[in-house]
């Protein structure tokens, strides 16, 4: 309890110092034209702390990768921290407060990492479709730039959205090589980077007899991953309901055995 009060006091001192509420400072800021009302200073301090503590470069990059809202991410973390503070103050437990803070940090980190992983897996699943459509466009004598533009309508999901950004950049007359490099940097999926490198090679050196012919083994591996993912999606509900049914049958027996053991222990103590 004392630790939490000291923490709140330290925060209040920091905000008072940041606000600089005294006539001399206010007059100097008015003369220099840099005066801001106290409420705006509070808002600026909060935004500075949030950006430095919660939105690190790594977190910002991940949020931008999956195109998630920074505002929503921050709100969820602040809600968790607020709940930790309230529970710590209510129960007077520093350990509970620190546990709540650690849980909030771990939950936000794991959930964001899981979201990025699913996003990249979805991109990976679309690469065989991308390669197949590029092969079709090259078969009808499209240039590399034309093929990149024409396959956009055949893609969906995360890769489709990123590819639409690429097409938009091409329409704004950004060089093809820069556009492809930007795509690979945004997505950061190794297999897509391989496709991008081949497109850049075809752009500079011309098309080979069999475009993407050296990627057959990689595509086979992706298709195997797709099949495993489909099987997992089909079997997961079945496993869940099977486990739930098993627990429904076994739980009453376990509870009855525990009650009997507890009753026998109590009877022994009484005797």
Quick: pLDDT tens for 89-133.
Answer: 777 777 777 888 888 888 888 888 888 888 988 888 888 889 889
Number of CB atoms found within 10 A of residue 159's CB: 22
User: CA–CA separation, 46 vs 143, rounded Å?
Assistant: 51
What is the pTM (predicted TM-score) of this model? Answer: 0.64
Percent of the chain scoring above 70 in pLDDT: 66
The predicted structure's pLDDT at residue 144? 92
Q: Which of 158, 163, 162, 159 is nearest to 147 (CA)?
A: 163
Mean pLDDT is lowest, of 30-39, 84-93, 242-251, for 30-39
d(CA 111, CA 85): 22
Domain boundaries along the sequence of the chain: 1-53, 119-222
Residues 6+ apart with CB under 8 A from 59: 73, 112
The SS3 of residue 189 is: coil
User: What three-state secondary structure class fits 188?
Assistant: coil
Residue 240 has pLDDT above 80, yes or no: no
Contact 125/34 with Cβ under 8 angstroms?
A: no
pLDDT of amino acid 74: 80
pLDDT tens string 245-258: 666 777 677 767 77
- Position 72 scores a pLDDT of 84
CA gap 42, 48 in Å, rounded? 10
């Amino acid at each position: 309890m004392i630790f939490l009060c000291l923490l709140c006091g330290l925060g209040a001192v920091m905000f008072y110092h940041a606000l600089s509420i005294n006539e001399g400072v206010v007059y100097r800021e008015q003369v220099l034209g840099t005066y801001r009302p106290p409420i705006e200073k509070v808002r600026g301090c909060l935004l500075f702390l949030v950006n430095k503590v919660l939105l690190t470069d790594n977190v910002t990059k991940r949020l931008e990768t999956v195109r998630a809202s920074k505002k929503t991410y921050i709100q969820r973390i602040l809600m968790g921290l607020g709940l930790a503070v309230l529970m710590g103050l209510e129960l007077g437990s520093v350990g509970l407060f620190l546990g709540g803070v650690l849980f909030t940090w771990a939950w936000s980190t794991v959930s964001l990492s899981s979201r990025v992983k699913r996003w990249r897996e979805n991109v990976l699943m679309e690469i065989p479709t991308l390669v197949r459509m590029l092969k079709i466009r090259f078969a009808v004598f499209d240039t590399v730039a034309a093929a990149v533009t024409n396959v956009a309508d055949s893609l969906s999901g995360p890769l489709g959205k990123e590819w639409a950004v690429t097409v938009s950049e091409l329409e704004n007359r950004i060089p093809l090589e820069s556009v492809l490099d930007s795509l690979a940097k945004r997505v950061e999926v190794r297999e897509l980077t391989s496709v991008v490198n081949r497109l850049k090679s075809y752009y500079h050196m011309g098309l080979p007899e069999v475009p993407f012919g050296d990627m057959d083994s990689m595509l086979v591996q992706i298709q195997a991953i797709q099949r495993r993912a489909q099987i997992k999606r089909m079997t997961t509900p079945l496993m869940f309901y099977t486990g739930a049914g098993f627990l429904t049958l076994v739980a009453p027996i376990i509870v009855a055995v525990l009650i009997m053991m507890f009753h026998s222990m109590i009877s022994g103590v009484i005797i």
